[in-house]
Structure 1
Amino acid sequence: MADARGGGLERSCRPGEWVEAGGPVDGVELFRARLRGRPYGRHRHDVYAVGVTEVGVQAFEYRGTVERSLPGQVFVLHPDEPHDGRADGPGVFGYRQIYVAPARIADALPAVTGRPTPLPFAAPVTDDPSLARAVRVAFEGTPEPLALDALVLRLAEGLLRCGAGSRVRAVPPCRVDLPAVERGREFLASRLAVVRSTEVEAVTGLDRFQFARQFRFVHGTSPYRYSVMRRLDVARRRLREGRPLAETALAVGFADQAHFTRTFKAAFGMPPGRYASLNRTRG
């Protein structure tokens, strides 16, 4: 709804209102807001905006009609489509959304459809739990390259499902280059640092979206998730050996201890300090 770069935001936030933006990173930008009234005048941007309403009801004039998005619903704004944004009522409306460059979606589509595919024109408001979850999960971690690739792939799949006036499209069977996927898996398992998409492409000979799709088909998870979990496996071993938290975080490729703690807790249900303490007690 909003233009995180400022276009269309008519006045500064009043008490109880806020906006929060992160990025853009490699064609992807995250944006959250809590607002009242009619904060956005008519404007347009050159990227997709894919979001989830979290609080209240938001309304926007779009393609000649007024659309309304309820909590939990997904909204999609197509590049270069004029729209505004406002609360549908006196209270606060809040949402989180992802801006993604059309070129990123275009690059991912052949991995989903198996052929060159025009950019999807999605319904402006829909109920799609999978796409809603993809948007929410994007805000839980640091935008590392493989995580962004996985996110863009999920967004591309969701945009196809939400195609205006069309039925859900069946996803074609996934062709798997097993030797290439295994080379990629071994490379991910060997690295304790952030892995870049270009590195994976060089190792596997597959483009990043083909690799992400084939890897999930074989291993049931994304390359990013696999990479993070292998790094956390090393971290657990180091913590059991009594290594300091800050040293361990750096050793397994996290920029700071806070990020490491959040990721560790999300994976294992407890912070790393507690994990280390329990292992010391057991010993």
Structure 2
Amino acid sequence: MPSSHAVLWRDPALPHVESRRACHSRACYKAHSHPTFSIGAVDAGFSLFSGAADGQARLTPGTLVMVPAHRLHACNPAPGQAWSYQMLHVDADWLTHVRQESGLGGAGAGEPARICRAPQVYAQFCELNRVLFSSASTCEKDAALIAFLGDLDVGAQPPLTPAPGLPDTALSRLIAQVEGQDPAQLSLELLAREAGLGRYQLIRAFRAATGFTPHAYLLNARVNRGRQLLGEGHALAEVAYRLGFADQSHFQRVFKAHVGVTPGQYRGD
């Protein structure tokens, strides 16, 4: 029988969010509420959830629940069974501010929870958690969180208006700013302020124009530059340093994720 275990992610630099992964859990919880906006996802097994508008629901793997702050709810494994899940908690005031600055609505405190069974949303949530639990920079994690929550349509509102357009000059200026920054220090807030947009608006506009979020664009540009430097015969440690990665191992992970081989394999070592 697989062993039960759980792991919690927190970062003092990101006090508005925390995440938890639990595997093969049989723990049961009384009905409760959180002061945070919470998102839960079922990874394996089945659970019974109460807190949505239509009474108790059976959640299957790949299902998400989005629970507004202070909403009474409970989510427990099927009787006598174990389940695996992920749980994300986001500060409600922080979330309200992020969505309001981009002209979005939000779920009010105490409103019914929403259940989402869309496979692509579950995949996006898993990717967000992968980033949060990884060695990615604080800025990259915060940007991933903002992008996911903005895309989520927390308030079940009408479809969003098209992403704001960026004139060519403004886009060129933004790209130059992104490419000129240290990956670990890229400030989404500063870029958004200079563009006159909310942080989520900036992500949408930049993504519509380039296909990338600002952080993804920067990483892609760094990897492409790394390919050039490696091809010129520069040492791996030197390339990682010149590209602004925290260390050589971080550069190796990012490079392999983009190129499919390690920097050493790419260079033909």
Q: Normalising to structure 1: TM-score of the pair?
A: 0.78
Q: Which residue of 1 aligns with 2:35?
A: 46
Q: Which residue of 1 aligns with 2:105?
A: 117
Q: Which runs of 5+ in 1 are unaligned?
A: 1-13
Change over 3 Å in CA distance of 1:97–1:44 after alignment to 2: same
AA partner of residue 72 (structure 1): G
Q: How does 1:68-217 map to 2 (within 5 A)?
A: 68-110=58-100, 115=103, 117-119=105-107, 123-141=113-131, 142=136, 144-160=138-154, 163=156, 169-178=158-167, 179-194=169-184, 195-217=186-208
SS of residue matched to 1:180: helix
Residue 219 (structure 2) pairs with residue 232 (structure 1): no
SS of residue matched to 2:129: coil
Q: 1:93 & 1:203 partners in 2: Cα distance?
A: 46
AA partner of residue 66 (structure 1): Q
AA partner of residue 175 (structure 2): R
1:78 to partner: Cα distance = 1.7
SS of residue matched to 1:199: helix
Q: 2:193 & 2:245 partners in 1: Cα distance?
A: 23
1:127 to partner: Cα distance = 1.1
Identity of aligned residues (%): 23
Change over 3 Å in CA distance of 1:174–1:44 after alignment to 2: same
Contact 1:102–1:119 under 8 Å retained in 2: no
Contact 2:38–2:89 under 8 Å retained in 1: yes
Change over 3 Å in CA distance of 1:262–1:191 after alignment to 2: same
Change over 3 Å in CA distance of 1:60–1:118 after alignment to 2: closer
Change over 3 Å in CA distance of 1:110–1:233 after alignment to 2: same
Change over 3 Å in CA distance of 1:251–1:22 after alignment to 2: farther
Which deviations, in whole Å up to 9, do the C-alpha atoms of 1:176-195 show, x marking residues without a partner?
24243332111112234321
AA partner of residue 216 (structure 1): R
Change over 3 Å in CA distance of 1:189–1:148 after alignment to 2: same
Q: 1:150 & 1:107 partners in 2: Cα distance?
A: 16
Moved over 4 A (4+): 120-123
AA partner of residue 36 (structure 2): V
Change over 3 Å in CA distance of 1:39–1:276 after alignment to 2: farther
Contact 1:59–1:68 under 8 Å retained in 2: yes
Q: Which runs of 5+ in 2 are unaligned?
A: none
1:133 to partner: Cα distance = 2.1
SS of residue matched to 1:82: coil
The count of residues paired between Structure 1 and Structure 2 equals 258
Q: Normalising to structure 2: TM-score of the pair?
A: 0.82
Change over 3 Å in CA distance of 1:127–1:207 after alignment to 2: same
AA partner of residue 119 (structure 1): A
Q: Which residue of 2 aligns with 1:5?
A: none
1:99 to partner: Cα distance = 1.8
Which deviations, in whole Å up to 9, do the C-alpha atoms of 1:65-99 show, x marking residues without a partner?
33322111112122122333321143331122322
1:202 to partner: Cα distance = 5.0
